[in-house]
Amino acid sequence: MTENNVNQVSQAFSQEGALAKAIKGFSPRQAQTDMALDVAHAIDKQSSLIVEAGTGTGKTFAYLIPAFLSLNPKNPKKIVVSTGTKNLQEQLFHKDIPLIKKALASNAQVALLKGRANYLCNYRLAQYQDSRGQLDAQMLQDLVKVKTWANGTQSGDIGELVNVSEDSSIFPFVTSTLDNCLARDCPDYEACHLVRARQKASDADIIVVNHHLFFADMALKDTGFGELIPKAQVMIFDEAHQIGDIASEYFGEAFSSKQLVDLCTDVLQVHRSSLTDVKQLGLAAEKLQKTCQEFRLLFNYDPERGNWREKYKQAQFQQKFANLKIDLDFLYQVIKLCVSRNEAIDNCFDRAVNLLAQYDVMANVEAYGMSFWYETTPRSVVLHQTPLNVSEKFNTFVKESGAGWIFTSATLAVDNSFNHFAKHLGLQDAKQLLLDSPFDYQAQSQLVVPRYLPQANDKNRALKLAELAEPLIKASKGACFMLFTSYRVMHQVAEILAESIDNPLLVQGKMAKRKLLEQFVEQGDAVLLATASFWEGIDVRGDKLTCVIIDKLPFASPDDPLLQARCEDVRRQGGEPFTQIQLPQAVIALKQGVGRLIRDVSDRGVLVICDDRLVNKPYGETFLKSLPDMKRSRDINKAAKFLETLS
């Protein structure tokens, strides 16, 4: 890296630098500058870098500033920044990047690119305006709102639709999937919002994507189709602790009953509007829809994950799965007779061919080196074939790209080692940097591991958790998160607290995640009860959140089929699954949960982990070494007194 480069990066983070001029109250942090210099070096040398930057390091600016400074009109390059969630994607694009562009007086072109399900499809919107018979009253109301918005939107990004619920049933009718998109055959191709978004990305210097889109694109390249994300010279992953599992998912295959039902819906749509003469089309589609419903009814009512290999051995599952093939094949034969009559039916034909091929993958459950598992939603079943090891594939991709790769998160290391993360992705040769948080955890926080709690399976467990929480909630005047590893215990504790405390209770599932958080911050004295999805990516600062109670160490369920398959694979190679897989995963998940408490230099609070395995099991030490250096106690009363001093 040239001296000029080093000086530019160091200068930007100095007391008189670009950031100090742009951000009121900015003060240089050595850890932030160290990270920025290592990122600049990885970009310059097109090498790989893994960085854990503790909360408060300012990692976003530490990778964005060197990225912007590396852009040179004489030697243009493309930079992809990938984040864990759409929320973080939008924060980067709408808040952090404009601030940096202004601070550096940069004229770099930046684009935001999401997956296709986030963009309005004009063609499908027009289609469903003409066939409202399938829509219920709520969907019709939402359709009217979508139409009004569609007339004025520039981007077509459905995230702009604040007056329609995020999980509205209308969205599958007005967005496209890879299966039902007509691509260049679409009459609305020229005005397509997705095509325009991709065109902007192709022209931009910096593209902001999310991990799912990145790996979907990587899988497409792998199968020889076109790419969504243009070839880049720099790849930056924020919230990188998530990418191991996402990579595995996209390097595998999936086959869902929803894909079959969507195909049937579209065939029926074409049958009613333009191919009314082919009666068999409607009959074949309706028959397959019915078989899909019967297949879903074989599984438990509540959503679950399980081992598909095991299920496939059972006669009734094998029979119903075979019926899917028979009915899909019949539909394929009927569609085949209609090929070339219009674009929509040709698209349905291609989808039927692909679905028959995917079916065969899921029927071949003896394939080696793969996990076969299923997950259910209230209406559908998704079958997955996931490779147990992606390190070779990913490592080859990194090497052949000739790009600089930067992986960062507040939670990548386990007991000060990156081995778990690096090994999973074949990144053992990457440079590693571990930066502690600048916060004074000893002064700002307390870690409490309560005594005498019943075991996890004890029927009194929920009651004891609620009793333990009450004095803490009272002392902190609300401003409390309770994070659970199971929905069942969360609901039990919520029922008990509803009777025993006056604070507003906000329980996950009762409303959208964003709405819950807004209410939590607005009400000030609320208690929020939530599970896994609130363990990360939540940022509540100051005295709005002073107490986080975690019900137990977040070990993945031993019934998780992908975990079981990975453990079996490690065992076959003579390894120890608990220390190599289960423990590192749980440590990283716990670090994420703990990270909700102290978000700023002035934040103070109490963290309660209701699991005495932390102190009486040998592996508890691995958890404790991986957590921030907080004052430790086993006394709830001490914690309550500390909280009283904060409010």
**Considering only CA atoms, which of 348, 329, 347, 337 is closest in space to residue 287?**
329
Supply 388's token pair.
């147990």
- Residue 75 neighbours by CB distance under 10 Å: 8
- How much is the pLDDT for 524? 84
Question: Of the CATH numbers 3.40.50.300, 3.60.15.10, 3.40.630.10, 3.40.220.10, which one belongs to the domain with range 441-646?
Answer: 3.40.50.300
Spatial separation of the C-alpha atoms in residues 229 and 410, rounded to whole Å: 26
pLDDT digits (tens, 9 = 90+) for 390-426: 999 999 999 999 999 999 999 999 999 999 999 999 9
133 pLDDT higher than 70: no
550 forms bridges with which residues in the sheet? 483, 609
Q: By the 8 A CB rule, do 297 and 310 touch? A: no
State the helix-helix crossing angle for 487-500 and 461-476, rounded to 10 degrees: 60
As a whole number of Å, the CA-based R_g of the chain is 26
Query: With 90 as the cut, is the pLDDT of residue 600 above it?
Result: no
pLDDT given for residue 268 in this prediction: 93
Nearest to 71, CA basis, from 95, 105, 115: 105
Domain boundary assignment for the chain: 3-109+204-233+402-435, 116-188, 253-386, 441-646
Band of pLDDT at residue 598, cut at 50, 70 and 90? confident
pLDDT at 335: 95
pLDDT of residue 617: 93
**pLDDT reported for residue 2:** 63
| Residue 172 pLDDT class (50, 70, 90 cuts) | confident
For the chain, what's the residue count? Answer: 647
DSSP secondary structure letter of residue 159: G
User: Average of pLDDT values for 48-68?
Assistant: 94
Across the range 143-168, mean pLDDT stands at 88
Six-digit token pair at 297? Answer: 């009814």
State residue 487's pLDDT score: 87
Specify the pLDDT at position 183: 85
Distances from the Cα of 556 to the Cαs of 196, 375, 485, 553, in angstroms? Answer: 41, 15, 9, 9
Is the model's pLDDT at 226 over the cut of 70?
A: no
The candidate with the shortest Cα–Cα distance to 469, out of 647, 624, 586, 643, is 643
- Tell me the pLDDT tens digit for each residue of 507-516: 988 877 778 8
Contact of 298 with 308, CB cutoff 8 Å: no
Instruction: Pull the structure tokens for residue 642.
Output: 């500390």
- List the single range of 131-135, 315-319, 354-358, 374-378 with lowest mean pLDDT: 131-135
- pLDDT at 287 exceeding the cut of 80: yes
The yes or no reply on domain 3-109+204-233+402-435 and CATH 3.40.50.300 is yes
* Buried residues in 198-208 as b, exposed as e (16+ CB within 10 A): bebbbebbbbb
pLDDT value at residue 559:
81
Topology (CATH) of 253-386: Fumarase C; Chain B, domain 1 (1.10.275)
The confidence score (pLDDT) of residue 33 equals 95
What residue has token string 């590396």? Answer: 70
Note whether 3-109+204-233+402-435 and 441-646 share their fold.
Answer: yes
Percent of the chain with pLDDT over 70: 97
For residue 222, what are its two tokens?
Answer: 């792998």
For 282-303, the three-class secondary structure string (H helix, E strand, C coil) is HHHHHHHHHHHHHHHHCCCCCC
pLDDT band for position 239 (cuts 50, 70, 90):
very high
Question: Poorest-confidence range of 162-171, 476-485, 625-634?
Answer: 162-171
